[in-house]
Amino acid sequence: MKLEVLNTQGQKTGREIDLPDDIFGVEPNEHAVYLAVKQYLASQRQGTHKSKERGEVKGSTKKIKRQKGTGTARAGDIKSPIFRGGGRIFGPRPHSYDIKLNKKVKRLARKSALSNKVSQGQLVVIEDFTFDTPKTAEYTKILKSLDLAKKKTILVTGDHDKLLYLSGRNVANSTVTRAQDLNTYDVMSTNTLILSEGSIEKIKETFA
């Protein structure tokens, strides 16, 4: 599978790049994508929620009234969950939301997401570029040249480019990431995926 390479002005360079079919041309597996997205979203949860139960609430353990003869329900200490200020019944406790997912399933999900972008025409390949200093205006200009200024985009680079990352950090609906850090959720949640030429080899090494 071949795609045309564009320059930073959004024009064709006359060159084409070969995208491996085993990564960008597979039959999308929707269930694998669902599991990978579910795992990613679950891992974003901290799981630090906590409420005090009756054994953790400060208060006396003395029985507040006699067992019989009051005409009301029997009651224990003041920390009972049925009283205001008492402990909570079956309250939340800290725990991890992480979901185990096999490496082969995660790899299949990423390939499915990338193949889906290609089939829908939502993948663009651009020649490698960088800045001498962080330039948000120049980065925005490139997005406008590609007619992607109003769309949610992810620019994938081969290696970490600090200047490029800083240039796109404050641009709304746009993210700059390395090929190694690309995940299924990011690919599926963006309108257009922008791949730099240098990122193709990294994707082959990472996802093959």
- On whether both 188 and 85 belong to a single domain, the answer is no
pLDDT range class, residue 12, cuts 50, 70, 90: confident
159 and 138 assigned to the same domain? yes
What tens digit of pLDDT does each residue of 78-124 get?
A: 999 999 999 999 999 999 999 999 999 999 999 999 999 999 999 99
Structural contact between residues 194 and 155, judged by C-beta atoms closer than 8 angstroms:
yes
- Domain span including residue 179: 2-45+98-207
- Structurally, the chain folds into a number of domains equal to 2
Domain shared by 22 and 118, yes or no? yes
CATH number at residue 161: 3.40.1370.10
**Same-domain check for residues 41 and 82:** no
Q: What pLDDT is attached to residue 167?
A: 92
Question: Which residues fall within 8 angstroms of residue 168, CB to CB, at 6 or more apart?
Answer: 136, 139, 155, 174, 175, 176
What's the predicted TM-score (pTM) here?
0.82
pLDDT band at 205 (very low <50, low <70, confident <90, very high): confident
Are 172 and 114 in the same domain?
Answer: yes
Residues 78 and 111 in one domain: no
